Amino acid sequence: MQLQRIVKSGFKTMWAHKLRGLFMFLSVMIGIAALTIIISLGKGTEEKIMGQVQKLFSSNTIMVVAGQGRMEGNHQRTSGAALTNLKLDDFEEIAERVDNVIEWDAIQVAPDRQVSCGGKNSIAIISGQTTSAESVWNIDVVKGRFFDDAENKNLARVALIAPNIVKELFGNSDPIGQQIRVDNIPFQVIGVVGPRGMDPHGIDKDSEIIVPLNTLLRRVVNLDYLMMGKLLTADKSEIPSTAEEVAQILREKHSIVSKEDDDFIIVTPTMVGAMIKDATKMFNLYLPLVAAISLIVGSIVVANLMLISVNERVKEIGLRKAVGAKSKDILAQFLIESSSITILSGALGIIGGLVLLSQIGPRFFDIPFSISWSVLLICFIISTLIGIASGFLPAKRAAKLEPVEALR
């Protein structure tokens, strides 16, 4: 009952000074709401990135990318040089000589190409891939079919289109069997792929057109080199040794001596994990620190207002001590008052943050709504600690007041 009376007394005092109470509430509530939103956005961002990466880069995957670089510790040093040395026969030899590689796909890309159909135009990324692409990259063909080996070998002008291209060129019409023109080269639409979003390289896969690799190389871009390739392995525990084996084959084929940098980059799941960690560091570390600053400011506001409250209640404190209240009772009173106020405002901040997050996350940031009990617990504990920390000095000052001095 004594605890209940102290809490009621604290809220009664705050209600008597509504503006002061409002400042105390807002100073903590806004900080807790910001912290809830930031931590949850960070968690949602990490889940989104992980989902996208898992579609592209499973635990049994090795990526081979054109470019110059060499592994240095856990990092990869790269440059834009030597982007023309990765060829189709490189991957064919890797598949033949490396037992752990069970499937592969090679890619070349032609970005920002004009695509038209029936007077409608769009800008698309044209990706040339092999017939293994559907399984290697987990491509979901929602309508029609994927191209086959014969179409790739014979330079067939067939294409699969992504959702944005369907919407811009065909609207609600069925695109299967229709003809589109890529830089005035006719292609027949044989399939529609499902939405895939933005990949880690910043390529919008929903504005992509997939064509046979040989067709792209010889009919569209007139090149014989590749941008990258993806290898699937049978045993993921052997990826480090497989990656070194792949690197050795490419060094031999490209006549690279031991002191020269590689003209390719090999990316393993370990490296991808490190990149994801770096990418989410801002959300998981730096942004919460910014929110923590607002909470520190809020605790200072609460402490100052509690000191004002102590100064205004000097005679009340003296009277309580005169009738038998001990210093520890006065200390507990002000600590409980400040903690109760910050806990309530913290709870309202959590609720407000969740409501805002459910609205702004999916709508403005294209980030899934994500929250966990650990986040709520952290925010609740922080609001409690703010109440204790900001109320300690005022409470200690109140507890030290002598009855005679206080009642003067």
Which burial class, exposed, middle or buried, applies to 369 when counting CB atoms under 10 A from its CB (0-12, 13-18, 19+)?
middle
The CA distances from residue 335 to 34, 204, 306, 398, in Å, are 25, 54, 10, 11
With contact defined as beta carbons under 8 Å apart, do 48 and 276 qualify? no
Q: Which residue has the tokens 């001596």?
A: 257
Per-residue tokens: 243:
């990656």
> What is the pTM assigned to this prediction?
0.66
Radius of gyration over every alpha carbon of the chain, rounded to an integer in angstroms? 32
pLDDT tens, residue order, the chain (408 aa) = 466 666 666 667 666 667 777 777 787 888 888 877 777 777 777 777 777 676 667 789 999 999 865 443 344 444 444 567 899 999 999 999 999 999 999 999 999 899 999 889 999 999 999 999 999 998 999 999 999 999 999 999 999 999 999 999 999 899 999 999 999 899 999 999 998 877 766 678 899 999 999 999 999 999 999 999 999 999 989 999 999 999 999 999 998 887 788 889 999 888 887 777 776 676 667 767 777 777 777 777 777 777 777 776 677 777 777 777 777 777 777 777 777 777 888 888 888 888 877 776 666 666 666 666 776 777 778 777 777 777 777 777 777 766 656 555
Query: Residue 193 in contact with residue 140, Cβ under 8 Å?
Result: yes
Distance CA 368, CA 362 (A): 6
What pLDDT, on the 0 to 100 scale, is given for residue 288? Answer: 73
- Cα 202 from Cα 8, distance rounded (Å): 56
Residue 252: what pLDDT? 92
User: What confidence score (pLDDT) does residue 73 get?
Assistant: 39
